[in-house]
């Protein structure tokens, strides 16, 4: 009970979930981006946009403390990045489980609750331990929240990409995180699944007060739900509401080359004249690959 109340106190005390302050990252001697300032407040839905290879994943990894900054600072829930563990839910980029992986979806989800704890779960623990029962209850709750009840007992390698993505979102939610960091979760999904997963994330964000930071290369599936975007390009970032950032003027200034944003009749945005992605993808292949 005391833990719950102190949790509640911590929840109300923090006004910023994530804060980057003039941050810069260098990997293998190359500056990925610099002078990035952004803040995410509780319950906000934020997208990180930009062309491939610009360092969007690196931004997420910096927030997790997996990548160090070369200058500036990043705080997560009022503490330095990397020290907030279970309060952050994380979905790394493009995870597709091997079709031969014979472990059920529900097992993968429940690892989100206690996967880092030493030991092994005792058989029949749920019959004797109330905390074990509560943990199982929570696992079923998040599976229902993401609408995965029908296939949670099938081997995770045998469900579709969209279903795996829902199970992974459930896994990230087990510990009631205050922020979800998702690296291209809509990638490799078909359009109906993109829309459905985007709507699911928006529901989690609105109804459960979980801030969502989502890396995407196409803004359109999430555009209706976005509070703010951070647009990374040419080693710098522009932050603000979608209406402020995804405009011809802002993106032209960011890219320093003429870029036009067109609005289709159905409301979708199309960015025209975006320079090609750089040939180096050092954020994806962290080994020091050829610099020119």
Partner 1 sequence: MTPTGISWNVVADVRQLLMFPFMVNAFRAGTIVAVIAGALGWFMVLRRQSFAGHSLAIVSFPGAAGAILLGISAMLGYFAAAIAAALVIAAIPRSLGGQPRSSESAIIGTLQAFALACGALFVSLYGGFLTSLTGLLFGSFLGISGSQVLVLLIVAAAALAILALIGRPLLFASIDPAVAAARGVRVRLLSTIYLVLLGCAAAATSQITGALLVFALLVMPAATAQRLTARPAASLALTIAFGVVTAWLGLAAAYFSIYPVGFYVTTFGFAGYVLAVAWTAARMRVRSRYAAAAEQPA
Q: Which residues bind partner 1 (CB under 8 A)?
A: 64, 66, 85-86, 88, 90-92, 95-98, 101-104, 107-108, 111-112, 114-121, 123, 154-155, 168, 171-172, 286-287
Which residue number, 109 or 216, has a Cβ lying nearer to partner 1? 109
Which residue number, 151 or 255, has a Cβ lying nearer to partner 1? 151
Partner residues linked to 236 by β-bridges: 233
Classify residue 238 by its DSSP letter. E
Q: Please name the residue ranges forming H helices in the chain.
A: 2-13, 56-64, 105-114, 125-128, 130-145, 161-173, 191-208, 242-245, 248-255
Which residue number, 78 or 85, has a Cβ lying nearer to partner 1? 85
| DSSP labels, 27-69 | ETTEEEEEEEEEEE-TT-EEEEE--TTSSHHHHHHHHHTSS--
CB atoms inside a 10 Å sphere around CB 86: 14
Which residue number, 23 or 168, has a Cβ lying nearer to partner 1? 168
Which residue number, 143 or 246, has a Cβ lying nearer to partner 1? 143
Partner residues linked to 228 by β-bridges: 46
Least separation in angstroms between residue 158's CB and partner 1 is 9
Find the length of the chain.
292
End-to-end CA distance of the chain: 58
Least separation in angstroms between residue 272's CB and partner 1 is 34
Integer Cα distance of 93 and 168 in angstroms? 11
146-150, Cβ contacts within 8 angstroms, sequence gap of 24 or more: 146/170, 146/173, 146/200, 147/200, 148/105, 148/109
156, two tokens: 């995770």
Least separation in angstroms between residue 167's CB and partner 1 is 11
Integer Cα distance of 12 and 9 in angstroms? 5
Least separation in angstroms between residue 111's CB and partner 1 is 5
Residue 278 backbone dihedrals phi, psi, to 5 degrees: -65, 155
Q: Give how far the C-alpha of residue 204 lies from the chain's centroid of Cα atoms, to the nearest Å.
A: 13
């Amino acid at each position: 009970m005391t833990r719950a109340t102190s949790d509640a106190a911590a929840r109300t005390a923090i006004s910023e979930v994530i804060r980057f302050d003039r941050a810069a990252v260098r990997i293998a001697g190359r500056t990925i981006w610099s002078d990035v300032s952004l803040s995410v407040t509780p319950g906000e839905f934020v997208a990180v946009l930009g062309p491939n290879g610009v360092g969007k994943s690196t931004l997420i990894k910096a927030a997790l403390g997996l990548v160090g900054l070369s200058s500036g600072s990043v705080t997560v829930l009022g503490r330095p990045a990397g020290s907030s563990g279970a309060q952050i839910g994380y979905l790394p980029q493009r995870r597709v489980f091997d079709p031969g992986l014979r472990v059920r979806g529900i097992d993968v989800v429940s690892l989100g609750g206690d996967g880092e704890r030493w030991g092994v779960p005792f058989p029949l623990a749920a019959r004797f331990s109330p905390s074990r029962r509560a943990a199982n209850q929570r696992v079923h709750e998040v599976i229902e929240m993401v609408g995965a009840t029908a296939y949670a007992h099938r081997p995770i390698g045998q469900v579709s990409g969209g279903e795996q993505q829902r199970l992974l979102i459930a896994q990230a939610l087990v510990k009631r995180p205050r922020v979800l960091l998702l690296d291209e979760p809509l990638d490799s999904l078909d359009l109906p699944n993109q829309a459905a997963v985007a709507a699911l994330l928006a529901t989690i964000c609105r109804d459960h007060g979980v801030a969502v930071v989502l890396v995407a290369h196409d803004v359109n599936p999430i555009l209706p739900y976005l509070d703010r975007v951070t647009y990374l390009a040419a080693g710098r970032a522009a932050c603000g509401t979608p209406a402020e950032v995804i405009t011809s003027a802002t993106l032209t200034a960011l890219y320093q080359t003429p870029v036009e944003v067109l609005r289709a009749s159905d409301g979708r945005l199309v960015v025209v004249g975006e320079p090609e992605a750089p040939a180096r993808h050092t954020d994806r292949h962290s080994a020091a690959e050829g610099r020119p």
